[in-house]
Amino acid sequence: MNAGPRRSGTDHRLPGGLRHEDGPVWQRIRRHAVPAWMIEDATARRLAGDWRAACAAAAVDVRFDLSAVAARHGAAVAEAAEDDLLHLAPDLVRWHLPRLLGGRTTLAPNVRVLLARYGTGAGAPVLSATTGPMADGPQRLRLHCAPLHPADAHRSPHHAAPSYRHENWIAARPLWDARQAAGLRDRLTGGADRLPFFHPDGTPLD
């Protein structure tokens, strides 16, 4: 009996990446949840070297100060974080964050996306973005640069601090780092000669 072609058990999508069948749903979400004016404003401010203004344009609240990071973790760590922040595309982070779907465009609540880690061990600061606690609440994000609390993802629902579901994007820089954004096209079945989900002549893939 012919069992048909064997499929690999490896999922090559990046965290937050698209599946072919998700395309139409995500088109609707991104049209409304990450509008063109937000992308243009955040990009212009990032290219001008003002990462804080870029975050503000993409409705991202910065919850740390680099001088405090330097005082606690050293100047080298703060400099590495600042280098990443200068190339952080906050609109791209918002673009790829998980959504509730099911006809809704709102962000999945209580998600912490890990973007970069500076050092090793439990005390190493992590650049991360978090969504809010309510599905129907404000859609603003928060940007952090601090060590992760050991119980961050395992707190009781009755604990005063939120319990976050983690997504690790540390090895997935095309999802947030403008320097590597072009790599996302290759990972999503695209290439130098075509867009994801399309043939080189512009016709959709089957």
What 3-state DSSP class applies to 87? helix
- pLDDT exceeds cutoff 60 at 8: no
The H or E element that residue 100 is part of is strand 99-101
pLDDT at 204: 77
Q: Spell out the residues 6+ positions from residue 166 whose beta carbon is closer than 8 angstroms to its own.
A: 111, 112, 113, 114, 152, 153
Domain assignment present for 33 = yes
Give the integer Cα–Cα distance in Å for 78 and 70.
5
> Is residue 65 situated within a structural domain?
yes
Q: Which residue has the tokens 């990009």?
A: 43
Cα–Cα distance measured from residue 197 to residue 175, given in angstroms and rounded to the nearest whole number: 18
Predicted confidence (pLDDT) per residue in 143-157, tens digit: 999 999 865 545 444
Q: Where are the beta strands (DSSP E) in 103-168?
A: 104-107, 111-117, 126-130, 141-146, 165-168
Q: What was the pLDDT predicted at 74? A: 96
Q: What single-letter amino acid sits at 186? A: D
Nearest-10 crossing angle of helices 75-87, 66-73? 150
pLDDT over threshold 70, residue 3: no
> Does residue 16 fall inside a structural domain?
no
Class of residue 172 by CB neighbours under 10 A (exposed 0-12, middle 13-18, buried 19+)? buried
Total domains in the fold of the chain: 1
User: d(Cα 68, Cα 117) in Å, to the nearest integer?
Assistant: 17
Specify if 49 maps to a domain: yes
Kindly report, residue by residue over 96-129, the tens digit of the pLDDT: 998 887 667 789 999 999 999 999 988 999 999 9
What share of the chain in percent tops pLDDT 90?
Answer: 54
Q: How far is residue 75 from each of residues 46, 69, 81, 83, 169, measured CA to CA in Å? A: 23, 8, 10, 12, 24
200 inside domain: no
> Region 156-183: what's the mean pLDDT?
82
Q: What is the domain extent for residue 141?
A: 25-187
- What's the pTM value of the predicted model, to 2 decimals? 0.79
Higher-scoring residue by pLDDT: 21, 117: 117
23 pLDDT tier (thresholds 50, 70, 90): low
Higher pLDDT, 157 or 206: 206
Q: How confident is the model at residue 178 (pLDDT cuts 50, 70, 90)?
A: very high
In a domain, 165, yes or no: yes
What is the model's pLDDT at position 14?
46
pLDDT given at position 166 = 93
More confident residue, 206 or 130: 130
Q: What is the DSSP letter of 120?
A: S
Tell me, yes or no, whether 15 lies in a domain. no
In a domain, 103, yes or no: yes
pLDDT at 161 over 90: no
